[in-house]
Each structure stands twice: as C-alpha cells, then as structure tokens.
Structure 1
Amino acid sequence: MKLIIAILKLAAVCVLATSGALAVAAQGTSADELLGDADRVVQQIDSNRYVDVWHDAAPFVKAKIPQDQFVSGTRQSRQALGAIVRRGWASVTRVQYAGQSGIPDGLYANVNYATTLTNGQSVIELLSFQLGQDGTWHLTGYVPHQR
C-alpha cells in the first residue's frame, strides 16, 4: 500500500511538472514554437506573402515601418537570394531587453537559417522576433547575408 501511495505521489508531481512546462510553452517561450513560427515566416516570404508577414510583425515594427516600405524591402532582400535548394535552422538565440534605447522591453529571439542557393552559394538568413503580449512570436526583421 505504501508503494502505491508513493507511486501516486510521484505521478502527481509529474503531472504538476508537466502542467508547468505546458504553461511555459503556452506563453511562447518554447524553442520548438519559435522555430515553427520562423518556418512559417520564411514560407510566407518564399511565397511572396509579404503583406501577411507585415500584418503579423511586432507592433513597434509596424508603427515605425509603413507596410509598403516593409514589403518592398523584404521582397528585395529575398529576391536577391534567388532560388533555394536547402534551408535549415543553424542557431537560436534569445535575449531579454530592458531599458535599451529604441528597443521596447521584452523577450527577443534570433533564428539563423543556413541556406544553400541553386548556384551553390551559402547564405545565412536571420529572422528576429519579439515575444508579444499575446504569447506569440512576432517578426522584427529579416536579413539574409553572405556566410
């Protein structure tokens, strides 16, 4: 009987630990969730859905950059790459900003994709995000650059 009670207590602790982990994931801090959001954004960019990307961008980005300017700049950056053969995430970095000039306080993340173009050239595509008050990641920037 003591063994059964001990197992039940252990199960209760596991359930509490799991629910805590799920609560954190629900707040948008999961790396898997971030990578999923980043994959969605690069798919939108690849599909010329720049307006959709702008609509989902961080509010401070939309306040500073008009939609047409964001769309044309992102389109130009992406089109300069040409066709992509392969893309995979290379790194994820999260940073908490507080009291930085010009940057709203909050949790930010960078996702770097290692990308191979049809001409064999390798580039890095950097996507930057801010964790919104809604618990989801919102794009703050897209910058492809040579390796």
Structure 2
Amino acid sequence: MQATEQDSKKRHPMNRFFTQFLAACLMASTSLIVAAAQQPPGTSSDELVRAALQSLQKADTDRLGELWESGSSVLKSRVPKTTFIETTRKARLSMGPVTARDWSSVARLQYRAGNESGFPAGLYANVDLVTQLGNGKSASERISFAMENNSWRFTGYVIAPPTPSSATPAAPLAPATSSAPATRTTQLAPSSASDARAPEVEAAVHAWAAAWSARDVGRYLLAYAPEFTPANRQQSRKNWEEERRARIAGKSTISVTVQGLAISIDGQTATARFRQTYRADDLNEVGRKTLEFQRSGTQWLIRKETAGV
C-alpha cells in the first residue's frame, strides 16, 4: 500500500482529493494488488466484496452521509463529513449511470506502527472493481476498508477515469467472475521495509505477461536478466531465446493470465508464485508458475523460471 502505480493512470480531477488522501495508505494501483500477512477469522474475500458493493450502493443512491457515518476512524479524522459528501458526489456523478459491476481484485495490507504514511497500525483492505457505464465505457472503482473492532469499516472511494470498454489494459485483469474470489487475491509474505517494493515486483510480473500476450518478443525477452538460466541447463541462453522467438511468433493469438499472485521479497531478490492460464490458438493450459527476480537498478528482472511449483 505504498504510493506506487503499475501502468499509472491519471485520476478524474473531481476525485483528486481522495486519490491524494488514499495514495499512501491504500495503494493507488489500477491492477491486481498486494495483500497482507494474516487475515482475521471470518473476513474472507467474499465478505469484503459484499461490503464494497454495499458501500457502492450507498454512493449510487446518494446516501453519502450514511456512508461517512459508517466509516472508519481513519476516514473521520482526516476528511470532514461535508467535504466527503461534496467531493464524492461530484466524482460519482461524473461516471453517470452504472449498468454492471464485477470485482477484479481483493487486497489486504498489515500496517506496522511508525509506517511512512502515518496511518494507524492495523489491517487495511482494498476491493477493486471493473464497472460498466451506461455510455458504453468502463471505469475502475476502489473501495477501501480498515479493520476496527473486528469488522471492516469503510475508509475511502477512488474512481479511475473511464476508458472504452473494448480497450485492453497493458496488464490484463483476470477474468471477472464471482465464483472463486480467493483465487485472485494477491498475497505478500511478511517482511520489513522490502514490502514497499512489492508493487514493483507485481508490475514486473504483469508486464512480462502482457508482453507475452501481445507477442512482443523483444519486450518479453527484456524481462529476463542477463544471468537468466533456462530450465534446461544444457540449453544455451542464445538457443533458448531463438526457441522462444519461434514459439511466440508461431502463434496467431496468445493470452497469458496471472491469478493468485503471491510475492515474497528478500533484499535484492524476490519470488512471485501464481496460477498461470495460457491460451494460444487451440491450446489451453493452466498450471503453477514461479518467477525468481533480481533487482537491477530500478528494474526487477527474471533470473529463474519454474513451471509446476
């Protein structure tokens, strides 16, 4: 929940106040986001999605005073009720009528005392949704919560700018279905200051998948570190690259989806584990994938790739 964005997008001007308010605390990221260490009993992803939809129903019906009253102490201590109502109403009206919503990610983060954002220590959560609008466009909405007195309390609402519904994001979202929310929760193994860089690793994973999906071989190969060793250790790096170029170029369509991303960071190295769905022409494969990253300057590059774990 640091102020980082994967494929950063400008927020709607009417919603700038809340974007700034939540940026440090609530990971103003447009994609699938980093979750926390431990989840308290009885607080499943399903419950968070339901709570988010209930909050949005209040926003849709202009019950913003009621929404603020139900909010967390974090919200109430930082945003006056009148300011919240006025700003959120303008932001919500800018979207126009909503025809459908579906969640895209659920994220949790455990704040430690003395964190950089200055927010109280505790557990926070984001629910990101893909929203279809009456004008044929789509938008991204984020509802944020804080855990207080063993229950999730509303903390903030952010709207990303509308985009044409046919547009394909650079880092594709997992298919929006409601059957198995837990499979799309990104998890972060507990660590110290290195947690702040987890969104960078997540962005690297999705950029790699997006390049592969776009059949952009040059960008795909740039995701790998110079010291990357192919799984077949008898194969040279040059032969591996030639093989990858041929395989990717030989497909008319490719789609790579990342689900259930779990990230752990140890100094200048990181490990990302996830469920990969690969579709290419008539081929459809689903399996586990592990990418090991090495930090190089400001980049996270793949040094090892393992399937099935």
- Normalised-by-shorter TM-score class: 0.7 to 0.9
Q: Hey, what does 1:57 align to over in structure 2? A: 71
Q: Judging by fraction of residues, say which structure has more helix.
A: 1
Residue-pair matches, total: 121
Greater CA drift, 55-64 or 42-51: 55-64
The AA in structure 1 aligned to 2:154 is: L
Does residue 119 (structure 1) correspond to residue 119 (structure 2)? The answer is no
1:144 to 141, 159, 169: 159
Percent identity between matched residues is 38
Q: Deviation per CA, 1:41-91: give whole Å up to 9, x if none.
A: 001111100001100111121012111001111111111100011111111
Structure 1 runs of 4+ aligned residues shifted over 6 Å read none
1:6-85 matches, within 5 Å, as: 24-25=41-42, 29-85=43-99
1: CA distance between counterparts of 2:47 and 2:66? 19
Amino acid at match of 1:125: E
Offset at residue 24 of structure 1 (A): 1.0
**Cα separation, 2, equivalents of 1:135 and 1:73:** 29
Point out where structure 2 has 5 or more consecutive residues left out of the alignment.
1-39, 164-309
Q: CA RMSD in A?
A: 1.3
Q: Aligned to 2:135, what secondary structure does the other structure show?
A: coil
Give the match's secondary structure for 1:111. strand
TM-score normalised to the size of structure 2? 0.38
How many angstroms apart in 1 are the aligned matches of 2:123 and 2:74? Answer: 14
- State the secondary structure of the residue aligned to 1:138: strand
TM-aligned CA deviation for residue 35 of structure 1: 1.3
Gaps of 5+ in 1: 1-22
